[in-house]
Chain A
Amino acid sequence: MSTVDATAGWDRLIEHDRVHGSLYTDPAIYEAELERIWYRTWVFVGHVSEVPEPNDYVVKSIGPQPVIMTRDKQGEIHLLLNRCTHRANLVCDAPRGNSSAFRCPYHGWTFSNTGRLLGYPFNSGYDGREAKRELGLGRVARIGIYEGFVFGSFAEEGPTLLEHLGAAREALDRLVALSPSGELDLSAGWLQHKVKANWKMLVENETDGYHPQFVHSSIFSVAQSGIGELYGEESTALSRDLGNGHTENDLRPEFRRIGQPLGWFGTTPDRVPDYVAQLEAAKGVEQARELLIDGSPHVMLFPNLFIAEIQLFVIQPLAVDETVQHVTAVQYKGAPDMNRRMLQQTIGSVGPAGFLLADDSEMYERNQRGVHARSPEWVVLKRGTHRERLDEDGHLVGDATDEVPQRAIWRHYRRLMEAGA
């Protein structure tokens, strides 16, 4: 394909209803995205339940940057960079553990799990205590936690996490509301599924309501799943722009029409009686019934957290054409009967061998190869432009299969890229 010079203006690459193919393939654009999106905006890092005890730590990431998420002995969460401030060795070589300190294996410099430099061997070689002061571990400049979800931003200043989440905050509220204890436990471990595709292929697909009947017809047909119909021509479900690049497939209109508690999960209350009783005890019978009919959200939080009803996906770009999708099962703290089902359904559906995600991933990789073709140069995102409208909250919505979310993602993307120029 011909290349369009990005410095000539992002408006030349990103139009209202089409985007230029080079956005997925140009290494220079990828490098600019790291600086203007991944190292600036709020990015989901991990969940507090992954470090439940004082001094727990786990290695997470912000894009290609490894980040150590720690809980100090007071219980506070920190996001530290895995780089000794002396000669840049990795201070943490385990994926997770419990330790109040990290000792660099190269020369023995030791850092507390709050990032402070505690000391170094043979300290007469340095000129007094002053030397230590500036040499704490690098840290993600800002940390924000909402309902246990830990986000980090490398930018010292900018919108707050709540400003960034905006209307999409409600997705996290809805997710947590389905837990009788009001808490999630995301400690089942993450599958790491690698694809040779640009990260935006994944972001766009998460709330693409047009693909399920085609990409997933094989599993829908053999498992007698009704999911496909939620994304059909007759569906009353909505696609929605939640602002700031956050997007949604709102399936509640369909679930409310059907009116079956737990219908969204393909089961009935008598199959998970303990869970339903717990939720009724916590919320009252009426509200529990409403929550169980509405179900769990299907929302993509830009740029990297996808809440897919009973799964959470985290998108990690590693190169212009390489991305890892991390995925785990949603688990409600203290609801073992429901958790067992959510875990087993998640294992079946997602990850490298999943009935659903293996096929999505095949699509990402074929898209990535296809977009290298010389002609046409553009990716078309027109679907539903003639029927998009504002809902009662002022959000742009379209029909279930419309490309309202994809246009919304690109509008926000362009704003971020232009702001960083």
Chain B
Amino acid sequence: MSGATVNRDLLLEVEQFVYREARMQDEHDYDGWEALWTDDALYWVPANGDAIDPTREMSIIFDNRSRIATRVKQLKTGKRHAQAPPSRTRRVVSNVELLDGAGDGGELVVGANFVLYESRERGVTLWAGRSTYRLRPTGDGLRMAYKKIELVNNDRAIFTLAFLI
């Protein structure tokens, strides 16, 4: 999509959505975060590259909507030891781009990069990657139908990733 055709209002709405999601994740607002998803959502963190087939190969996360709900419920038990106490995290999301679908009322494909600091008893872990979102306009604002997170180090050994990425 060329820069000349960017709908500034739409881009602003998308950016605000992406920043809100990031804040909810950092502040462990599990219910708020879950409500951002559509009923047919897919939440995917591939491993060993970005272009793998998640139906045949191992991913770090490959959650359908029901598994997203399970993930949130587990966190909310307070006995998800890997997040009890929760990691303190802050992430910067930038390079937000509307990649496809702007203006036709359909789903928007959005790309963004992130850098994230996680602090736990173990120490500080730095995470980084690229997120691709499919955002669906609804009567109640945008909702996430799809989020894929390509960690830059997804082909190497990584520490536990139990906070919301």
Q: Which residues of A contact B (CB under 8 A)?
A: 95, 188-196, 215, 217-219, 221-223, 324, 327-329, 340, 343-344, 346-348, 351-353, 355, 358-359, 361-363, 365-366, 369
Contacts and interface: CB of A to CB of B under 8 A. Distances in A.
B104 interface: no
A359 to B, nearest CB: 5
B121 interface: yes
Contacts of A215: 81
B74 A195 contact: no
A355 B80 CA distance: 8
A96 B29 CA distance: 41
B156 interface: yes
A352 B74 contact: no
A340 B156 CA distance: 24
Contacts of B54: 347
25 contacts: A188-B58, A189-B47, A189-B48, A192-B157, A192-B158, A196-B122, A217-B79, A218-B78, A219-B74, A219-B80, A221-B77, A222-B73, A223-B70, A343-B58, A344-B62, A347-B54, A347-B61, A348-B67, A351-B47, A353-B160, A353-B162, A358-B82, A359-B162, A362-B81, A366-B121
Given A189-B58, A196-B122, A329-B58, A363 B159 contact: no
Nearest to A361: B160
Contacts of B45: 353
Interface in B139-161: 155-161
Contacts of A223: 70
B62 to A, nearest CB: 5
B56 A352 contact: no
A369 B121 contact: yes
Closest 6 CB pairs of A and B: A192-B157, A358-B82, A218-B79, A222-B73, A194-B157, A352-B161
Nearest to A96: B48
B74 A191 contact: no
Given A95-B155, A358-B162, A359-B82, A191 B77 contact: no
Contacts of B47: 189, 191, 351
B60 interface: yes
B52 interface: yes
Contact of B56 (A327, A343, A358, A361): A343
Which of under 10, 10 to 19, 20 to 34, or 35 or more describes the interface residues of B? 35 or more
A347 B55 CA distance: 10
A359 B81 contact: yes
Contacts of A347: 54, 58-62
B57 interface: yes
A351 B82 CA distance: 12
Nearest to A316: B157
A351 B159 CA distance: 9
B82 A362 contact: yes
Contacts of A219: 70, 74, 80
Contacts of A358: 80, 82, 160-162
A93 to B, nearest CB: 13
A215 B74 CA distance: 12
Contact of A355 (B48, B58, B74): B74
Nearest to A369: B121
B84 to A, nearest CB: 8
Contacts of B60: 191, 347, 351-353
A347 B77 CA distance: 21
Contacts of B74: 218-219, 222, 355
A362 B59 contact: no
Contact of A328 (B55, B58, B63, B79): B58
A193 B157 contact: yes
A191 B48 CA distance: 8
Contact of B82 (A190, A346, A361): A361
Nearest to A357: B160
A189 B82 contact: no
A189 B73 CA distance: 28
Given A193-B159, A222-B77, A352-B160, 7 more contacts: A189-B47, A196-B159, A217-B79, A222-B70, A329-B58, A346-B58, A353-B61
